[in-house]
Amino acid sequence: MALERLQLEHIPPAYQVYAAFFRDVANTDFLQAQLLARNSEFEYAFVDASSVISRLHLLSAVYSALNALLDGTLRTPNVHSEIVVSLNVNNNIADAYRRWGITPGKTKDLIVVKTQETIWAHLTEHVHGTPAPLTDVELALATDWPKIRKYYRLNGVPALERLADEGARRKEGERLAIMGMALRGL
């Protein structure tokens, strides 16, 4: 089973996080239609894996959304859409859905995040893809770096260009992306 249960630091136990990773998802148009219809059965955070670097990157967005939920400062209808919006570096919600959300025809690999309740049976029934472990190695296979560099404004950044080692460059890119999210809208 590829559903993972996560307990983040500084988050009450009642707000446990469940996450799953599906590769080669075939029915993205159906899934997006459910979101657009505000079908409450499908209240998930669907994240396009090509715009995600690593677990830390994903979890930073989840933490930021949960923090907004606990604070009562959600900017979007629910915590799940807030996760998608938290991945952005600015406050443009439509832009965030387009870049990090599910896009029919474009999204191939999908990360699903849900808080507070288990969802596995429902997910495997409706998401037509291959379950994969949500590890940094698997995620890296799906990451589209040119896209990441564009979304997080990492092109031509001196801190990255001076690093010769590809691994070190990705690590720093991840840090700068998380930093960009933390500074969202500033």
Question: Contact positions toward other proteins, by CB under 8 A?
Answer: 8-14, 56, 59-60, 63-64, 67, 70-71, 73, 157-159, 162, 168, 175-176, 178-180, 182-183, 186
Alpha-carbon distance values, 135 to 37, 58, 93, 131 (Å): 31, 11, 27, 12
Indicate the residue among 78 and 103 with the shorter CB distance to other proteins: 78
User: E-strand spans in 3-109?
Assistant: 4-6, 17-23, 45-48
Q: How far is the CB of 61 from other proteins (least distance, A)?
A: 10
DSSP annotation of 22 = E
Residue 68: CB atoms within 10 A of its CB come to 18
Indicate the residue among 126 and 175 with the shorter CB distance to other proteins: 175
Indicate the residue among 28 and 64 with the shorter CB distance to other proteins: 64
Q: How far is the CB of 2 from other proteins (least distance, A)?
A: 20
**What's the alpha-carbon Rg for the chain, to the nearest Å?**
16
Q: How far is the CB of 63 from other proteins (least distance, A)?
A: 6
Q: Which residues pair with 105 in a beta bridge?
A: none
Q: Which residues pair with 113 in a beta bridge?
A: 19, 45
Cα separation, 123 vs 62, in Å, equals 19
Indicate the residue among 140 and 168 with the shorter CB distance to other proteins: 168
Q: How far is the CB of 127 from other proteins (least distance, A)?
A: 25
Q: How far is the CB of 27 from other proteins (least distance, A)?
A: 31
Indicate the residue among 25 and 134 with the shorter CB distance to other proteins: 134
